[in-house]
Amino acid sequence: LFLILLHIPHVSQKKGGVHKRGIVGFLFFFLFFFFFWFLFYFILLLNFNFFLRSFQWKGAFAVTFQLWFMSVVHICRHGQDEDNFEGLLNGRRDRPLTQLGREQASTLAQKLKERGMTYDIILTSPLKRANETARIIGEALSVHVETENELVEREFGVLTGKPIAQIRAYAGENVVQGDKVLYFLSVDGAETFDECYDRAARVLHRVDTTFAGKRVLLVCHGDIGKMLLAVKKKITWREGIMLPYFDNTSVLET
Average pLDDT over residues 49-65: 42
The pLDDT score that the predictor gives to residue 77 is 99
Question: What percentage of the chain carries pLDDT values higher than 70?
Answer: 73
- Of 74, 103, 146, 153, the active-site residue reads 153
The tens digit of pLDDT for each residue in 121-135 reads: 999 999 999 999 999
| Binding annotation for substrate | 77-84, 129
- Select from 123, 130, 58, 56 the least CA-distant residue to 93: 130
Domain architecture of the chain: domains with CATH: 2-66 (no CATH), 71-253 (3.40.50.1240)
Provide mean pLDDT across the span 87-95: 98
108-142 burial, b at 16+ Cβ within 10 Å, e below that, comes to bbeebeeeeeebebbbbbebbbbbbbbebbbeebe
| pLDDT for residue 107 is more than 80 | yes
Confidence check: pLDDT of 203 > 90? yes
pLDDT at 58 over 90: no
Identify which of 107, 71, 102 has the alpha carbon closest to the alpha carbon of residue 218. Answer: 71
Residue 141, CA distances (Å) to 65, 115, 116, 211 in order: 29, 11, 10, 18
Tell me the whole-structure pTM to 2 decimals.
0.75
Taking residues 177-185, report their average pLDDT: 95
C-alpha 235/C-alpha 216 separation (Å) is: 21
Q: What is the pLDDT of residue 53?
A: 40
| Binding-site residues from annotation | 77-84, 129
User: Residue 234: what pLDDT?
Assistant: 97
pLDDT in tens, 11-22: 444 444 445 556
Cβ atoms of 137 and 217 within 8 Å: the answer is yes
Active-site pick, 7, 10, 74, 78: 78
Give the contacts of 1 (CB within 8 A, at least 6 positions apart). Answer: 31
Residue by residue, DSSP assigns 14-83 as EETTEEHHHHHHHHHHHHHHHHHHHHHHHHHHHHHHHHHHHH---SHHHHHHHHHHSPEEEEEE---BHH
153 is catalytic: yes
- Decide the pairing of beta strands 251-253 and 72-77: antiparallel
pLDDT at 112 over 80: yes
pLDDT at 62: 42
Backbone angles phi, psi at 117, to 5 degrees: -75, 135
Contact of 114 with 181, CB cutoff 8 Å = no
Annotation says 7 is catalytic:
no
Beta bridge partners of 217: 74, 122
